[in-house]
Structure 1
Protein backbone atom coordinates (compact mmCIF):
# COMPACT_ATOMS: atom_id res chain seq x y z
CA UNK A 1 0.00 0.00 0.00
CA UNK A 2 1.08 3.57 -0.60
CA UNK A 3 2.34 5.46 2.42
CA UNK A 4 0.31 8.47 3.66
CA UNK A 5 2.90 10.86 2.22
CA UNK A 6 2.26 9.43 -1.22
CA UNK A 7 -1.52 9.74 -1.03
CA UNK A 8 -2.95 12.26 -3.45
CA UNK A 9 -5.82 14.64 -2.77
CA UNK A 10 -7.43 14.45 -6.19
CA UNK A 11 -11.15 14.94 -6.41
CA UNK A 12 -13.48 12.15 -7.55
CA UNK A 13 -13.73 13.37 -11.15
CA UNK A 14 -9.97 13.60 -11.66
CA UNK A 15 -9.44 10.19 -10.09
CA UNK A 16 -12.03 8.62 -12.40
CA UNK A 17 -10.55 10.31 -15.47
CA UNK A 18 -7.03 9.18 -14.61
CA UNK A 19 -8.22 5.64 -13.88
CA UNK A 20 -10.24 5.51 -17.09
CA UNK A 21 -7.32 6.91 -19.06
CA UNK A 22 -4.98 4.24 -17.69
CA UNK A 23 -7.52 1.52 -18.49
CA UNK A 24 -8.00 2.75 -22.05
CA UNK A 25 -4.29 3.20 -22.70
CA UNK A 26 -3.68 -0.27 -21.26
CA UNK A 27 -6.13 -1.86 -23.67
CA UNK A 28 -4.86 0.27 -26.54
CA UNK A 29 -1.24 -0.63 -25.79
CA UNK A 30 -1.91 -4.08 -27.20
CA UNK A 31 -2.22 -2.56 -30.65
CA UNK A 32 1.37 -1.35 -30.35
CA UNK A 33 3.16 -4.14 -28.49
CA UNK A 34 1.79 -6.82 -30.84
CA UNK A 35 3.20 -5.16 -33.97
CA UNK A 36 6.41 -7.28 -33.98
CA UNK A 37 4.36 -10.48 -34.07
CA UNK A 38 2.34 -9.28 -37.07
CA UNK A 39 5.52 -8.22 -38.85
CA UNK A 40 7.07 -11.64 -38.28
CA UNK A 41 4.01 -13.53 -39.48
CA UNK A 42 1.55 -11.68 -41.73
CA UNK A 43 -0.78 -14.67 -41.59
CA UNK A 44 -1.84 -13.41 -38.17
CA UNK A 45 -3.61 -10.60 -40.02
CA UNK A 46 -5.33 -12.54 -42.78
CA UNK A 47 -5.88 -15.99 -41.27
CA UNK A 48 -4.84 -15.96 -37.59
CA UNK A 49 -6.11 -19.47 -36.86
CA UNK A 50 -3.86 -20.80 -39.63
CA UNK A 51 -0.68 -19.19 -38.32
CA UNK A 52 1.83 -21.27 -36.41
CA UNK A 53 1.19 -21.91 -32.73
CA UNK A 54 4.38 -20.00 -31.92
CA UNK A 55 3.15 -16.92 -33.79
CA UNK A 56 -0.28 -17.05 -32.20
CA UNK A 57 1.21 -17.44 -28.74
CA UNK A 58 3.63 -14.57 -29.38
CA UNK A 59 0.94 -12.09 -30.42
CA UNK A 60 -1.11 -12.85 -27.33
CA UNK A 61 1.89 -12.67 -24.99
CA UNK A 62 3.04 -9.35 -26.45
CA UNK A 63 -0.46 -7.97 -25.91
CA UNK A 64 -0.26 -8.75 -22.21
CA UNK A 65 3.26 -7.31 -22.03
CA UNK A 66 1.64 -4.02 -23.01
CA UNK A 67 -0.19 -3.96 -19.68
CA UNK A 68 3.10 -4.18 -17.80
CA UNK A 69 4.65 -1.39 -19.87
CA UNK A 70 1.73 0.96 -19.24
CA UNK A 71 1.64 0.18 -15.53
CA UNK A 72 5.40 0.45 -15.20
CA UNK A 73 5.46 3.76 -17.05
CA UNK A 74 2.76 5.13 -14.74
CA UNK A 75 4.73 4.09 -11.66
CA UNK A 76 7.84 5.76 -13.05
CA UNK A 77 6.15 9.01 -14.11
CA UNK A 78 4.33 9.41 -10.78
CA UNK A 79 7.41 8.45 -8.73
CA UNK A 80 5.47 5.68 -7.02
CA UNK A 81 8.04 3.07 -7.93
CA UNK A 82 7.71 -0.70 -7.86
CA UNK A 83 7.20 -0.66 -4.10
CA UNK A 84 3.65 0.40 -4.99
CA UNK A 85 2.99 -3.12 -6.26
CA UNK A 86 1.18 -5.15 -3.59
CA UNK A 87 2.69 -8.56 -4.27
CA UNK A 88 3.80 -10.81 -1.44
CA UNK A 89 3.81 -14.43 -0.34
CA UNK A 90 0.20 -15.43 0.41
CA UNK A 91 -0.85 -16.15 3.96
CA UNK A 92 -3.39 -18.79 4.98
CA UNK A 93 -6.01 -16.05 4.95
CA UNK A 94 -4.98 -15.07 1.43
CA UNK A 95 -5.35 -18.66 0.24
CA UNK A 96 -8.83 -18.66 1.75
CA UNK A 97 -9.73 -15.65 -0.38
CA UNK A 98 -8.20 -17.31 -3.45
CA UNK A 99 -10.45 -20.33 -2.94
CA UNK A 100 -13.47 -18.12 -2.30
CA UNK A 101 -12.67 -16.14 -5.44
CA UNK A 102 -12.44 -19.25 -7.59
CA UNK A 103 -15.72 -20.61 -6.24
CA UNK A 104 -17.40 -17.21 -6.51
CA UNK A 105 -16.25 -16.56 -10.08
CA UNK A 106 -17.32 -20.03 -11.21
CA UNK A 107 -20.71 -19.61 -9.50
CA UNK A 108 -21.14 -16.28 -11.28
CA UNK A 109 -20.13 -17.93 -14.54
CA UNK A 110 -22.73 -20.66 -14.09
CA UNK A 111 -25.38 -18.09 -13.18
CA UNK A 112 -24.70 -16.10 -16.33
CA UNK A 113 -24.78 -19.33 -18.34
CA UNK A 114 -28.19 -20.24 -16.93
CA UNK A 115 -29.56 -16.77 -17.64
CA UNK A 116 -28.23 -16.84 -21.19
CA UNK A 117 -29.89 -20.17 -21.77
CA UNK A 118 -33.17 -19.31 -20.03
CA UNK A 119 -33.54 -15.98 -21.82
CA UNK A 120 -32.08 -17.28 -25.12
CA UNK A 121 -29.60 -14.42 -25.18
CA UNK A 122 -27.07 -14.05 -27.99
CA UNK A 123 -23.38 -13.64 -27.14
CA UNK A 124 -20.55 -11.96 -29.02
CA UNK A 125 -17.34 -13.79 -29.85
CA UNK A 126 -14.03 -13.04 -28.18
CA UNK A 127 -11.16 -11.94 -30.42
CA UNK A 128 -8.98 -14.58 -28.75
CA UNK A 129 -11.10 -17.30 -30.37
CA UNK A 130 -9.88 -16.12 -33.78
CA UNK A 131 -6.40 -17.30 -32.78
CA UNK A 132 -7.65 -20.61 -31.47
CA UNK A 133 -9.93 -21.73 -34.27
CA UNK A 134 -10.43 -25.47 -33.90
CA UNK A 135 -6.90 -26.12 -32.66
CA UNK A 136 -6.99 -28.06 -29.38
CA UNK A 137 -3.27 -27.63 -28.85
CA UNK A 138 -3.70 -23.86 -28.90
CA UNK A 139 -6.32 -24.15 -26.17
CA UNK A 140 -3.75 -25.89 -23.96
CA UNK A 141 -1.22 -23.18 -24.81
CA UNK A 142 -3.80 -20.59 -23.76
CA UNK A 143 -4.08 -22.19 -20.32
CA UNK A 144 -0.33 -21.69 -19.86
CA UNK A 145 -0.54 -18.11 -21.14
CA UNK A 146 -3.36 -17.38 -18.70
CA UNK A 147 -1.26 -18.38 -15.70
CA UNK A 148 2.05 -16.86 -16.80
CA UNK A 149 1.00 -13.70 -18.66
CA UNK A 150 -2.71 -12.92 -18.78
CA UNK A 151 -3.80 -12.98 -15.12
CA UNK A 152 -0.59 -11.45 -13.66
CA UNK A 153 -0.40 -8.52 -16.11
CA UNK A 154 -4.12 -7.76 -16.22
CA UNK A 155 -4.46 -7.78 -12.44
CA UNK A 156 -1.32 -5.67 -12.08
CA UNK A 157 -2.67 -2.91 -14.30
CA UNK A 158 -6.40 -2.98 -13.65
CA UNK A 159 -6.37 -3.79 -9.95
CA UNK A 160 -3.02 -2.63 -8.52
CA UNK A 161 -2.83 0.50 -10.70
CA UNK A 162 -6.34 1.49 -11.83
CA UNK A 163 -8.36 0.36 -8.80
CA UNK A 164 -5.75 1.43 -6.28
CA UNK A 165 -5.55 4.84 -7.95
CA UNK A 166 -9.24 5.29 -7.13
CA UNK A 167 -8.58 4.74 -3.41
CA UNK A 168 -7.35 8.33 -3.25
CA UNK A 169 -10.87 9.69 -3.75
CA UNK A 170 -13.25 6.84 -2.99
CA UNK A 171 -13.89 4.17 -0.39
CA UNK A 172 -12.68 0.72 -1.33
CA UNK A 173 -16.16 -0.64 -2.18
CA UNK A 174 -16.77 2.40 -4.38
CA UNK A 175 -13.37 1.99 -6.04
CA UNK A 176 -14.12 -1.67 -6.82
CA UNK A 177 -17.42 -0.78 -8.49
CA UNK A 178 -16.00 2.15 -10.45
CA UNK A 179 -12.91 0.25 -11.61
CA UNK A 180 -15.08 -2.70 -12.65
CA UNK A 181 -17.44 -0.41 -14.55
CA UNK A 182 -14.51 1.17 -16.36
CA UNK A 183 -13.11 -2.25 -17.18
CA UNK A 184 -16.45 -3.39 -18.57
CA UNK A 185 -17.07 -0.24 -20.58
CA UNK A 186 -13.69 -0.24 -22.31
CA UNK A 187 -14.44 -3.78 -23.50
CA UNK A 188 -17.74 -2.71 -25.04
CA UNK A 189 -16.28 -1.61 -28.42
CA UNK A 190 -14.06 -4.72 -28.47
CA UNK A 191 -17.09 -7.00 -28.37
CA UNK A 192 -19.26 -4.68 -30.46
CA UNK A 193 -16.95 -5.17 -33.43
CA UNK A 194 -17.54 -8.93 -33.30
CA UNK A 195 -21.23 -8.72 -32.40
CA UNK A 196 -24.36 -8.70 -34.50
CA UNK A 197 -26.47 -6.84 -31.93
CA UNK A 198 -26.28 -4.61 -28.88
CA UNK A 199 -27.69 -7.42 -26.75
CA UNK A 200 -25.02 -9.85 -27.90
CA UNK A 201 -22.40 -7.30 -26.89
CA UNK A 202 -23.95 -6.70 -23.49
CA UNK A 203 -23.68 -10.35 -22.38
CA UNK A 204 -19.86 -10.68 -22.45
CA UNK A 205 -19.49 -7.13 -21.12
CA UNK A 206 -21.65 -8.18 -18.15
CA UNK A 207 -19.32 -11.14 -17.61
CA UNK A 208 -16.32 -8.79 -17.73
CA UNK A 209 -17.92 -6.45 -15.19
CA UNK A 210 -18.90 -9.28 -12.86
CA UNK A 211 -15.47 -10.89 -13.00
CA UNK A 212 -13.80 -7.55 -12.36
CA UNK A 213 -16.05 -7.01 -9.32
CA UNK A 214 -15.01 -10.37 -7.88
CA UNK A 215 -11.29 -9.95 -8.49
CA UNK A 216 -11.40 -6.31 -7.40
CA UNK A 217 -13.06 -7.33 -4.14
CA UNK A 218 -10.35 -9.94 -3.51
CA UNK A 219 -7.65 -7.33 -4.01
CA UNK A 220 -9.42 -4.76 -1.83
CA UNK A 221 -9.80 -7.25 1.02
CA UNK A 222 -6.26 -8.63 0.98
CA UNK A 223 -3.99 -5.91 -0.45
CA UNK A 224 -2.13 -8.78 -2.06
CA UNK A 225 -2.04 -8.92 -5.85
CA UNK A 226 -1.31 -12.64 -5.71
CA UNK A 227 -4.89 -13.34 -4.59
CA UNK A 228 -6.79 -11.94 -7.60
CA UNK A 229 -4.08 -13.26 -9.93
CA UNK A 230 -4.51 -16.82 -8.67
CA UNK A 231 -8.31 -16.67 -8.72
CA UNK A 232 -8.35 -15.05 -12.16
CA UNK A 233 -5.95 -17.60 -13.63
CA UNK A 234 -7.92 -20.53 -12.24
CA UNK A 235 -11.19 -19.06 -13.53
CA UNK A 236 -9.90 -18.62 -17.07
CA UNK A 237 -8.19 -22.02 -17.00
CA UNK A 238 -11.56 -23.62 -16.28
CA UNK A 239 -13.07 -21.74 -19.22
CA UNK A 240 -10.40 -22.96 -21.60
CA UNK A 241 -10.63 -26.41 -20.06
CA UNK A 242 -14.33 -26.47 -20.97
CA UNK A 243 -13.48 -25.37 -24.49
CA UNK A 244 -10.87 -28.13 -24.81
CA UNK A 245 -13.32 -30.77 -23.61
CA UNK A 246 -15.94 -29.45 -26.04
CA UNK A 247 -13.51 -29.81 -28.94
CA UNK A 248 -12.33 -33.24 -27.81
CA UNK A 249 -15.82 -34.70 -27.44
CA UNK A 250 -17.71 -32.54 -29.94
CA UNK A 251 -20.01 -31.16 -27.23
CA UNK A 252 -21.13 -28.30 -29.47
CA UNK A 253 -23.66 -30.70 -30.91
CA UNK A 254 -24.75 -32.00 -27.50
CA UNK A 255 -27.79 -30.93 -25.49
CA UNK A 256 -28.65 -27.18 -25.38
CA UNK A 257 -27.30 -26.54 -21.88
CA UNK A 258 -23.90 -28.03 -22.72
CA UNK A 259 -23.74 -26.23 -26.04
CA UNK A 260 -24.57 -22.93 -24.36
CA UNK A 261 -21.81 -23.41 -21.76
CA UNK A 262 -19.34 -24.10 -24.56
CA UNK A 263 -20.46 -21.01 -26.44
CA UNK A 264 -20.09 -18.79 -23.40
CA UNK A 265 -16.72 -20.34 -22.57
CA UNK A 266 -15.41 -19.52 -26.03
CA UNK A 267 -16.84 -16.01 -25.87
CA UNK A 268 -15.90 -15.22 -22.29
CA UNK A 269 -13.16 -12.66 -21.72
CA UNK A 270 -9.61 -13.16 -20.59
Structure 2
Protein backbone atom coordinates (compact mmCIF):
# COMPACT_ATOMS: atom_id res chain seq x y z
CA UNK A 1 0.00 0.00 0.00
CA UNK A 2 1.26 3.48 -0.79
CA UNK A 3 2.10 5.64 2.18
CA UNK A 4 0.23 8.83 3.11
CA UNK A 5 3.18 10.91 1.87
CA UNK A 6 3.50 9.30 -1.54
CA UNK A 7 3.97 11.60 -4.49
CA UNK A 8 0.73 12.32 -6.29
CA UNK A 9 1.00 10.88 -9.80
CA UNK A 10 -2.43 11.64 -11.20
CA UNK A 11 -4.79 14.60 -11.45
CA UNK A 12 -7.98 14.70 -9.35
CA UNK A 13 -10.32 14.64 -12.34
CA UNK A 14 -8.63 11.74 -14.10
CA UNK A 15 -8.29 9.76 -10.89
CA UNK A 16 -11.99 10.26 -10.08
CA UNK A 17 -13.09 9.34 -13.59
CA UNK A 18 -11.01 6.16 -13.58
CA UNK A 19 -12.38 5.19 -10.16
CA UNK A 20 -15.95 5.86 -11.29
CA UNK A 21 -15.38 3.90 -14.51
CA UNK A 22 -14.12 0.91 -12.54
CA UNK A 23 -17.21 1.01 -10.32
CA UNK A 24 -19.51 1.23 -13.34
CA UNK A 25 -17.65 -1.61 -15.04
CA UNK A 26 -18.23 -3.68 -11.92
CA UNK A 27 -21.95 -3.02 -12.17
CA UNK A 28 -21.94 -3.86 -15.87
CA UNK A 29 -19.95 -7.04 -15.33
CA UNK A 30 -22.57 -8.25 -12.88
CA UNK A 31 -25.22 -8.01 -15.58
CA UNK A 32 -23.11 -10.25 -17.80
CA UNK A 33 -21.90 -12.83 -15.28
CA UNK A 34 -25.42 -13.41 -13.93
CA UNK A 35 -26.85 -14.31 -17.35
CA UNK A 36 -26.25 -18.09 -16.92
CA UNK A 37 -28.42 -18.09 -13.79
CA UNK A 38 -31.31 -16.40 -15.61
CA UNK A 39 -30.97 -18.83 -18.51
CA UNK A 40 -31.00 -21.83 -16.18
CA UNK A 41 -34.04 -20.60 -14.25
CA UNK A 42 -36.15 -17.94 -16.02
CA UNK A 43 -38.29 -17.57 -12.89
CA UNK A 44 -35.52 -15.40 -11.50
CA UNK A 45 -36.68 -12.66 -13.87
CA UNK A 46 -40.31 -12.19 -12.84
CA UNK A 47 -40.85 -14.48 -9.84
CA UNK A 48 -37.50 -14.82 -8.04
CA UNK A 49 -38.91 -16.24 -4.80
CA UNK A 50 -40.40 -19.13 -6.80
CA UNK A 51 -37.01 -20.07 -8.22
CA UNK A 52 -35.01 -22.79 -6.51
CA UNK A 53 -32.62 -21.89 -3.72
CA UNK A 54 -29.74 -23.15 -5.86
CA UNK A 55 -30.74 -20.82 -8.70
CA UNK A 56 -31.05 -17.80 -6.41
CA UNK A 57 -27.74 -18.56 -4.77
CA UNK A 58 -26.05 -19.00 -8.15
CA UNK A 59 -27.41 -15.66 -9.34
CA UNK A 60 -26.04 -13.77 -6.35
CA UNK A 61 -22.70 -15.58 -6.41
CA UNK A 62 -22.18 -14.91 -10.12
CA UNK A 63 -22.91 -11.24 -9.53
CA UNK A 64 -20.09 -11.03 -7.00
CA UNK A 65 -17.80 -12.99 -9.32
CA UNK A 66 -18.33 -10.16 -11.82
CA UNK A 67 -16.88 -7.67 -9.34
CA UNK A 68 -13.83 -9.85 -8.77
CA UNK A 69 -13.26 -10.21 -12.51
CA UNK A 70 -13.25 -6.44 -13.03
CA UNK A 71 -10.77 -5.99 -10.20
CA UNK A 72 -8.52 -8.74 -11.50
CA UNK A 73 -8.69 -7.40 -15.06
CA UNK A 74 -7.70 -3.94 -13.88
CA UNK A 75 -4.68 -5.32 -12.02
CA UNK A 76 -3.61 -7.17 -15.15
CA UNK A 77 -4.16 -4.33 -17.63
CA UNK A 78 -2.60 -1.66 -15.42
CA UNK A 79 0.44 -3.81 -14.69
CA UNK A 80 -0.08 -3.55 -10.94
CA UNK A 81 -0.40 -7.28 -10.44
CA UNK A 82 -1.65 -9.16 -7.40
CA UNK A 83 1.03 -7.58 -5.21
CA UNK A 84 -1.25 -4.52 -5.30
CA UNK A 85 -3.77 -6.40 -3.15
CA UNK A 86 -3.30 -5.54 0.54
CA UNK A 87 -4.24 -8.88 2.05
CA UNK A 88 -2.62 -10.34 5.14
CA UNK A 89 -3.63 -11.83 8.46
CA UNK A 90 -4.60 -8.97 10.82
CA UNK A 91 -2.44 -7.98 13.76
CA UNK A 92 -3.95 -7.58 17.24
CA UNK A 93 -4.34 -3.87 16.56
CA UNK A 94 -6.08 -4.57 13.27
CA UNK A 95 -8.49 -6.98 14.93
CA UNK A 96 -9.37 -4.05 17.16
CA UNK A 97 -10.31 -2.09 14.05
CA UNK A 98 -12.41 -5.02 12.88
CA UNK A 99 -14.32 -4.98 16.16
CA UNK A 100 -14.70 -1.21 16.03
CA UNK A 101 -15.98 -1.48 12.47
CA UNK A 102 -18.56 -4.09 13.41
CA UNK A 103 -19.81 -2.09 16.39
CA UNK A 104 -19.74 1.17 14.43
CA UNK A 105 -21.61 -0.23 11.41
CA UNK A 106 -24.27 -1.86 13.58
CA UNK A 107 -24.72 1.35 15.59
CA UNK A 108 -24.98 3.35 12.36
CA UNK A 109 -27.51 0.87 10.99
CA UNK A 110 -29.67 0.96 14.12
CA UNK A 111 -29.63 4.76 14.36
CA UNK A 112 -30.56 5.19 10.70
CA UNK A 113 -33.25 2.54 10.97
CA UNK A 114 -34.79 4.24 13.97
CA UNK A 115 -34.61 7.58 12.20
CA UNK A 116 -36.34 6.13 9.15
CA UNK A 117 -39.07 4.74 11.39
CA UNK A 118 -39.44 7.88 13.52
CA UNK A 119 -39.75 10.17 10.52
CA UNK A 120 -41.80 7.65 8.52
CA UNK A 121 -39.40 8.07 5.63
CA UNK A 122 -40.18 6.09 2.50
CA UNK A 123 -37.47 3.75 1.31
CA UNK A 124 -37.00 1.50 -1.68
CA UNK A 125 -37.28 -2.24 -1.24
CA UNK A 126 -34.01 -4.04 -0.69
CA UNK A 127 -33.03 -5.84 -3.90
CA UNK A 128 -31.64 -8.85 -2.04
CA UNK A 129 -34.94 -9.26 -0.16
CA UNK A 130 -36.57 -9.92 -3.54
CA UNK A 131 -34.63 -13.17 -3.72
CA UNK A 132 -35.17 -14.14 -0.09
CA UNK A 133 -38.87 -13.56 0.50
CA UNK A 134 -39.81 -15.43 3.67
CA UNK A 135 -37.53 -18.40 2.96
CA UNK A 136 -35.52 -19.10 6.10
CA UNK A 137 -33.20 -21.51 4.30
CA UNK A 138 -32.32 -18.81 1.79
CA UNK A 139 -31.46 -16.49 4.67
CA UNK A 140 -28.93 -19.03 5.95
CA UNK A 141 -27.54 -19.43 2.43
CA UNK A 142 -27.16 -15.64 2.27
CA UNK A 143 -25.04 -15.65 5.41
CA UNK A 144 -22.62 -18.05 3.71
CA UNK A 145 -22.65 -15.96 0.52
CA UNK A 146 -21.89 -12.81 2.49
CA UNK A 147 -18.76 -14.32 4.06
CA UNK A 148 -17.49 -16.16 1.00
CA UNK A 149 -18.41 -13.84 -1.88
CA UNK A 150 -20.18 -10.58 -1.01
CA UNK A 151 -17.81 -8.95 1.46
CA UNK A 152 -14.56 -10.19 -0.15
CA UNK A 153 -15.42 -9.10 -3.71
CA UNK A 154 -17.02 -5.76 -2.83
CA UNK A 155 -14.13 -4.77 -0.57
CA UNK A 156 -11.61 -5.96 -3.15
CA UNK A 157 -13.04 -3.85 -5.98
CA UNK A 158 -14.40 -0.81 -4.17
CA UNK A 159 -11.75 -0.45 -1.48
CA UNK A 160 -8.52 -2.06 -2.72
CA UNK A 161 -9.04 -0.98 -6.34
CA UNK A 162 -11.38 2.04 -6.53
CA UNK A 163 -10.45 3.72 -3.24
CA UNK A 164 -6.77 2.94 -3.54
CA UNK A 165 -6.76 4.28 -7.11
CA UNK A 166 -7.93 7.61 -5.69
CA UNK A 167 -4.83 7.80 -3.46
CA UNK A 168 -2.92 8.93 -6.55
CA UNK A 169 -4.64 12.32 -6.40
CA UNK A 170 -6.31 12.70 -3.00
CA UNK A 171 -5.63 12.33 0.71
CA UNK A 172 -6.81 9.13 2.39
CA UNK A 173 -9.93 10.75 3.89
CA UNK A 174 -10.79 12.44 0.59
CA UNK A 175 -10.41 9.12 -1.20
CA UNK A 176 -12.70 7.41 1.34
CA UNK A 177 -15.34 10.10 0.84
CA UNK A 178 -15.19 10.01 -2.97
CA UNK A 179 -15.14 6.21 -3.18
CA UNK A 180 -18.11 6.02 -0.80
CA UNK A 181 -20.12 8.47 -2.90
CA UNK A 182 -19.26 6.52 -6.05
CA UNK A 183 -20.34 3.29 -4.34
CA UNK A 184 -23.64 4.90 -3.36
CA UNK A 185 -24.31 6.39 -6.77
CA UNK A 186 -23.91 3.10 -8.62
CA UNK A 187 -26.76 1.78 -6.45
CA UNK A 188 -28.97 4.67 -7.55
CA UNK A 189 -30.43 3.00 -10.68
CA UNK A 190 -31.29 -0.18 -8.74
CA UNK A 191 -33.12 1.61 -5.95
CA UNK A 192 -34.78 3.97 -8.41
CA UNK A 193 -36.45 1.03 -10.14
CA UNK A 194 -37.65 -0.35 -6.79
CA UNK A 195 -39.01 2.91 -5.34
CA UNK A 196 -41.98 5.15 -5.96
CA UNK A 197 -40.37 8.50 -5.17
CA UNK A 198 -37.07 10.35 -5.21
CA UNK A 199 -36.98 10.37 -1.41
CA UNK A 200 -37.50 6.61 -1.25
CA UNK A 201 -34.51 6.25 -3.57
CA UNK A 202 -32.32 8.75 -1.74
CA UNK A 203 -32.67 7.21 1.73
CA UNK A 204 -31.11 3.79 0.97
CA UNK A 205 -28.45 5.35 -1.27
CA UNK A 206 -27.42 7.68 1.58
CA UNK A 207 -27.22 4.69 3.92
CA UNK A 208 -25.03 2.82 1.42
CA UNK A 209 -22.68 5.81 1.28
CA UNK A 210 -22.43 5.88 5.08
CA UNK A 211 -21.73 2.17 5.34
CA UNK A 212 -19.11 2.36 2.60
CA UNK A 213 -17.42 5.22 4.44
CA UNK A 214 -17.08 3.07 7.57
CA UNK A 215 -15.45 0.18 5.70
CA UNK A 216 -13.37 2.57 3.61
CA UNK A 217 -12.03 4.21 6.77
CA UNK A 218 -11.04 0.81 8.17
CA UNK A 219 -9.09 0.06 5.00
CA UNK A 220 -7.43 3.49 4.97
CA UNK A 221 -6.31 3.16 8.60
CA UNK A 222 -5.01 -0.40 8.45
CA UNK A 223 -3.90 -0.84 4.82
CA UNK A 224 -5.18 -4.39 5.17
CA UNK A 225 -8.09 -5.52 3.00
CA UNK A 226 -9.00 -8.34 5.38
CA UNK A 227 -10.04 -5.78 8.02
CA UNK A 228 -12.99 -4.25 6.10
CA UNK A 229 -13.82 -7.69 4.67
CA UNK A 230 -14.20 -9.15 8.17
CA UNK A 231 -16.18 -6.18 9.50
CA UNK A 232 -18.41 -6.11 6.42
CA UNK A 233 -19.10 -9.84 6.54
CA UNK A 234 -19.95 -9.90 10.24
CA UNK A 235 -22.15 -6.82 9.90
CA UNK A 236 -24.20 -8.33 7.08
CA UNK A 237 -24.18 -11.69 8.85
CA UNK A 238 -25.76 -10.07 11.91
CA UNK A 239 -28.44 -8.50 9.73
CA UNK A 240 -29.33 -11.81 8.11
CA UNK A 241 -29.18 -13.51 11.49
CA UNK A 242 -31.76 -11.06 12.84
CA UNK A 243 -33.87 -11.58 9.75
CA UNK A 244 -33.76 -15.34 10.35
CA UNK A 245 -34.98 -14.81 13.91
CA UNK A 246 -37.75 -12.53 12.67
CA UNK A 247 -38.95 -15.19 10.22
CA UNK A 248 -38.51 -18.05 12.68
CA UNK A 249 -40.74 -16.40 15.29
CA UNK A 250 -43.07 -14.74 12.78
CA UNK A 251 -42.36 -11.30 14.23
CA UNK A 252 -43.92 -9.59 11.22
CA UNK A 253 -47.39 -10.58 12.43
CA UNK A 254 -46.64 -9.99 16.12
CA UNK A 255 -47.50 -6.94 18.20
CA UNK A 256 -46.33 -3.61 16.72
CA UNK A 257 -43.55 -3.24 19.26
CA UNK A 258 -42.20 -6.68 18.32
CA UNK A 259 -42.67 -6.42 14.57
CA UNK A 260 -40.49 -3.29 14.60
CA UNK A 261 -37.53 -5.65 14.14
CA UNK A 262 -38.83 -6.69 10.74
CA UNK A 263 -39.48 -3.07 9.80
CA UNK A 264 -35.93 -2.11 10.72
CA UNK A 265 -34.47 -4.98 8.70
CA UNK A 266 -36.37 -4.01 5.55
CA UNK A 267 -36.10 -0.23 5.93
CA UNK A 268 -32.39 -0.05 5.20
CA UNK A 269 -30.29 -1.90 2.59
CA UNK A 270 -28.46 -5.04 3.68
| TM-score range normalised by the length of the shorter chain | over 0.9
Corresponding residue for residue 61 of structure 1: 61
Is the aligned partner of 1:85 residue 2:85? yes
Cα distance, 1:70 vs. partner?
0.2
Normalising to structure 2: TM-score of the pair? Answer: 0.95
Query: What is the rounded CA distance, in whole Å, between the counterparts of 2:26 and 2:43 in structure 1?
Result: 25
Query: What is the rounded CA distance, in whole Å, between the counterparts of 1:97 and 1:257 in structure 2?
Result: 34
Corresponding residue for residue 190 of structure 2: 190
Aligned residues: 269
Corresponding residue for residue 113 of structure 1: 113
Q: Which runs of 4+ in 1 moved over 4 A?
A: 255-258
8 Å CA contact 2:116–2:267 kept in 1: the answer is no
Q: Cα deviations across residues 10-61 of structure 1 (Å, max 9, x unaligned)? A: 1000011010111111122110000111111112113111111111100000
Q: State which drifts further: 49-58 or 256-265.
A: 256-265
Q: Cα deviations across residues 105-129 of structure 1 (Å, max 9, x unaligned)? A: 0000111011111111111112111
Cα distance, 1:255 vs. partner?
4.7
Query: What is the rounded CA distance, in whole Å, between the counterparts of 2:40 and 2:249 in structure 1?
Result: 34
SS at match of 2:125: coil
Cα distance, 1:264 vs. partner?
3.8
Is the aligned partner of 1:123 residue 2:123? yes
Cα distance, 1:267 vs. partner?
5.1
Cα distance, 1:253 vs. partner?
3.0
- CA RMSD, Structure 1 to Structure 2 (Å): 1.7
Gapped runs of 5+ residues in structure 1? Answer: none
Is the aligned partner of 1:233 residue 2:233? yes
8 Å CA contact 1:129–1:267 kept in 2: the answer is no
Change (3 A) 1:258 1:12: farther
Corresponding residue for residue 12 of structure 2: 12
SS at match of 2:186: helix
Gapped runs of 5+ residues in structure 2? Answer: none
Corresponding residue for residue 200 of structure 2: 200
